[in-house]
Amino acid sequence: MTSVPRTVVITGASRGLGLASACELYKRGWRVIGAMRSVDAGLAAIRELTGAATGDPCLHGVQLDLTDARSVDAASEAIVDLVGAPDVLVHNAGIAVAGFAEETPPAEWHRVFATNVFGPAALTNAFLPPMRDAGRGRIVVVSSTSAVRGMPLAAVYSASKAAMERWAESLAAEVAPYGIGVTILLAGTYDTDLTHDGAAVYRDDSGPYGPQRPRMEKRGRMAVRLANPPQRFARSLARALERDRQPIVHRGAGVDAKIYRSVARLMPTIAMHHMIRVGLGQPRFGTLGASGADRPATEGNA
């Protein structure tokens, strides 16, 4: 008797971590459904990297735009009609915006949260009824070190990822009685579009934050050069899907993510603040303010 392969739905499967994950899980025998904006291009990329044949029953693509409620409903209905309740839903799709919080337009806050938080929540809600009926399932949230500690130049992205983690934690408590688990997978620095030119950038070099930019951007470019290949993340995801059986699991994907998460748990808030400030080459407290010279010495040296 031939066993039915487990089914995983991966959002944003046409590139980056999603593409690498789709390929890795397909090679490991999963039935992969890539939910993505560019279905034809995404499937072509997966087939090229895995050797999958056109029409392979273990590889499907479904059009999905997380910012469009009708697209979310249509995608979830198509997937349930095709395979029933998926064993795993991986929330990988996401976008980023680079810029100081004050300089980032309100519209970008809405766009990032619609893609990174509201869309995934709506897609999950669509799959929960069939998952409950099946008495099983796992929701995987791909998070970021920016969710552990808000990062300068990434306020919008940090806030969206932190919101996603708090939603996932709440969800885990709500769905655990029905046999549905949640994994929060904290991604470190990986070589994807987001680490290069994939994020919208808002900057005003003549504005008050202009003096901070050159050194921060230089340090950021140095970090990108140390980024890991996406395939390493995909292997971490595959291992998590094999091992995670608890109602909620919070784990790092990559050595840097694991170290950062541990340090953040142990280090006081002000120590984390200074570690990030020094790492990014930011000025000390009060040094760019008009009244900086009048501040108490304990603050000026902070």
Q: 174-228 pLDDT, tens per residue?
A: 999 999 999 999 998 888 776 555 678 898 888 999 999 888 888 877 777 777 8
Identify the residue whose tokens are 């709440």. 170
CA within 13 Å, CB half, 52: 27
Report d(CA 131, CA 193) in Å as an integer: 32
Whether 260 is catalytic: no
Any domain includes 213: yes
Any domain includes 240: yes
Any domain includes 40: yes
Q: What's residue 2's pLDDT?
A: 56
Torsion angle of alpha carbons 30, 33, 39, 42, nearest 10°? -30
Nearest to 190 by CA among 49, 17, 24, 21: 17
Q: What's residue 197's pLDDT?
A: 53
Any domain includes 166: yes
Q: 156-178 pLDDT, tens per residue?
A: 999 999 999 999 999 999 999 99
Identify the residue whose tokens are 């089914």. 7
Any domain includes 215: yes
* Active-site entry in 157, 190, 209, 260: 157
Any domain includes 300: no
Our separate counts of H helices and E strands in the chain read 12, 9
CA within 13 Å, CB half, 168: 29
Q: What's residue 68's pLDDT?
A: 97
Q: What's residue 297's pLDDT?
A: 39
Domain that holds residue 101: 7-287
Backbone angles phi, psi at 33, to 5 degrees: -120, 110
Q: State the 10-residue block means of pLDDT for the chain, 302 residues long.
A: 84 96 98 97 97 96 97 98 97 94 95 97 98 98 91 93 97 98 92 67 89 85 79 96 96 86 88 90 87 41 40
Q: What's residue 295's pLDDT?
A: 43
Any domain includes 298: no
Handedness of CA 243, 246, 249, 251 (dihedral sign): negative
Q: What's residue 1's pLDDT?
A: 46
Query: DSSP string spanning 102-131?
Result: GGS-HHHHHHHHIIIIIHHHHHHHHHHHHH
Any domain includes 296: no
For helices 155-175 and 119-134, what crossing angle results, to 10°? 20
Number of domains observed in the structure of the chain: 1
CATH number at residue 223: 3.40.50.720
Report d(CA 199, CA 98) in Å as an integer: 6
